[in-house]
Structures are given as C-alpha cells and as structure tokens.
Amino acid sequence: MNTVILQDAENIARSSFISWDRLSGKTVFITGATGFIGSCIIRGIMYRNMHMNAGIKIAAMVRNRQRAEQMFSEYLETGLLDFAVGDVCSEVKYDGNADFVIHCASNAAPKEYAEDPVGTMKTNFYGTLGLLEFAKSKNAEKFLYVSTIEVYGNTDKDGEITEDGYGYIDAVNPRSCYPISKKACETAAVCFGAQYGMPVSIGRLSYIFGAGMKKNDSKVVAILARAAAACEDMVLKSKGEQKRSYTYISDAVTGLLTVLLEGENGQAYNIASSLCITTIANMGKTLEELYSDKGVRLKFDLPSEDEKKKFSPIRDAVLSNKKLKSLGWVEKTDLKEGLYRMTESIAEDNR
C-alpha cells in the first residue's frame, strides 16, 4: 500500500476521541466504498482491526467486486470485510447486518457534474432514498449522510458559515445538480428520522484533499498536486482568490466517524479544519514553495466564458467547526503538511 495512505489509516485508527468501542462487534455498511472518502474510512477501520483487534466488520457496497478486491486485497483474509455488489440507484441487497450505515456514494467532481448532471441527481436522489429504506429495514443504530459545503450556496453572511446559514443556489443552472440534490437528500434523511424514528446525522464536508484522490480527479487541488509531483508548472485556470475551508482526508474521516457516533439525531455538522482555510492561489503558492528546488512554478491561464460555466459559483466559503468540536473532534493536519503528503503520495505512485 502507498506509504502516505497507510500512515493516514494509522492516524485515523489511533484517534483517541473516537468512541471505537461502540463499533466493536458491529457491522458498518459503507456506500461509495472505492471512492476517495469511503476507501479512507475502510482503511482506517481495518487498520484498527488488524493492529488493535477492534472486531469491526465492514460491508462495502461496490459496483465492481474485482476492482474492490484489488483495492482492498490486504484485508480479504481477515474475515472482517464483506462486499455488497450493486448500484445504489437500484434496490440495495445485503443479507448480513448493517448496524451503522455511512452513505458516501455520489458523483463528486466538477467534470462529472458538467458532463452528467442528470446522472448526478439520480445517484443522489434514488441512491439516498434507497439507502434510507435499507437502513430502516435493518433497524440500523445510526445513518450518516455525507453531504457537502455546496448546500450553503452563495451566502452574503460575513465570517464563518454555521450549520443554520444558507445562501442562494441557482435552480436553473445545470451545475446546481450537485448542491440542490445533496440538499434535498439531507431533508430526506431527517424526514426518515422524524417519521420512522431512525437515528440520522449529517456531515457536511468542506473541500477535501489528500492522499488517495483519483488520478483523474478534476478538482483544482488535485490538478495542482499532480503537476507538482511531476515537477511541472502548475497552471491555475482562475485567479483563485476565493477563501474556502479545506480539510485533509484523514481529518475529514475522523470528523465523519465522530458525527456517526456522537452526533445528535437530525442534526448537521460542518466537517472543516481550522488549519486549512485558504485560497486556491495560496495552495498553488504553498506547493511552489515546497517544490521550488525542483523547478515547480505557479502560472495563471484565465478561463473562457464557457469554461467558467463549469466552475462552482460559490465565492468565499469558510465553515464554522465549533459544533463538530463540541463533540470532541480535533483536526491534526495543517495546509502545508497536507499538500506535501498528498503530493508525495502521488509521486510514490508514479515511481
């Protein structure tokens, strides 16, 4: 396994503020298991299983068993990892227990929103409703919906955005397929909680970065890190002036697990690090400083009007994490370390 990804898994597994004992002997059902977030959750839990005898079973929902077995090959003999093969847009079928359900499956890249807005909405709508029905049928102890900073839209509020703050989302812009469908799914989750008494919580992820992002991930931070890892110039397709909340992947996962185990029913929690509030331009400059000895430089190539239509319309978006921190969560990785770990992970995979 990639060195940095393994270290991230260990950091998650050794997080002292997570109530790991509550998961012992239970089954955690995870959708989007081979994605960036889902795979990191699995590796963190499995590290704890293998090194601390946690006894936590994982049921990973995947579309391709062969790909999943290759990705998680080191865990197959433990007896603690099982697969449910299927598409979340169809009926979810799994014969085993599902004591905790974490719903991560979703298109999660700007390119996907632009090229397949209908598919993005279908995956979010149908997938979430199906998973909620599944969790209800299994009498799950908790359902965690993994949501996004984008549900806030464009806010006029100065300062940090708290969980009760909302802005404007343009309903007739196809790019809104992602935030509007995610927002509707949040409502569906709390409705299941209110009508059927099913415990649900929501984790609203800030912009997440780190080791393990897909090689073709179209997020700007991934593009910049790939260029830096290849010792090439980093090209930014905007001025990159918006200040936003970012969170390194291992901190995001410990945040989600904290919400799963400690979050109040029917409540949403921002998953955002105070150590990674930055602009995209500053991310590029930080990488430039880290790899200046390798000739890496940041350049700007401002976009055309057509290219701008594919970008997120959100301006500054800094999330308050006070509600999450009240549950005991603490972030560990700052911006410079996170960017370095991400880039070194990419470089290791390219060797």
DSSP string of 212-263, one letter each residue? T--TT--SHHHHHHHHHHTT--EEESS----EEEEEEHHHHHHHHHHHHHHP
Lowest-pLDDT range of 66-80, 114-128, 146-160, 329-343: 146-160
137-146, 248-257, 262-271, 306-315: the lowest-pLDDT one: 306-315
Predicted confidence at residue 311, as pLDDT, reads 58
Is the pLDDT at 2 greater than 80? The verdict is yes
Among 53-57, 301-305, 316-320, 344-348, whose mean pLDDT is lowest? Answer: 301-305
- For the stretch 153-190, what's the b/e string if a residue is b when 16 or more beta carbons lie within 10 angstroms of its beta carbon? beeeeeebbebeeeeebeeeeebbbbbbbbbbbbebbb
Average the pLDDT over each of 145-149, 171-175, 286-290 and give the range with the smallest value.
Answer: 171-175
End-to-end Cα spacing for the chain: 13
182 contact partners, CB below 8 Å, separation of at least 6: 106, 124, 147, 148, 150, 151
Residue indicated by tokens 């950091």? 11
The answer to whether the CB of 206 falls within 8 A of the CB of 270 is yes
Q: Domains (ranges, CATH) in the chain?
A: 3-214+245-277+317-332 (3.40.50.720)
The candidate with the shortest Cα–Cα distance to 242, out of 189, 195, 283, is 283
In this prediction the pTM is 0.95
pLDDT at residue 346, as a whole number: 97
User: What is residue 339's predicted lDDT score, i.e. its pLDDT?
Assistant: 98
Average pLDDT of the residues in 154-160: 77
User: What pLDDT, in 10s, does the model give residues 237-285?
Assistant: 888 888 999 999 999 999 999 999 999 999 999 999 999 999 999 999 9
Mean predicted lDDT score pLDDT of the chain: 94
**209-226 tens-digit pLDDT:** 999 999 888 899 999 999
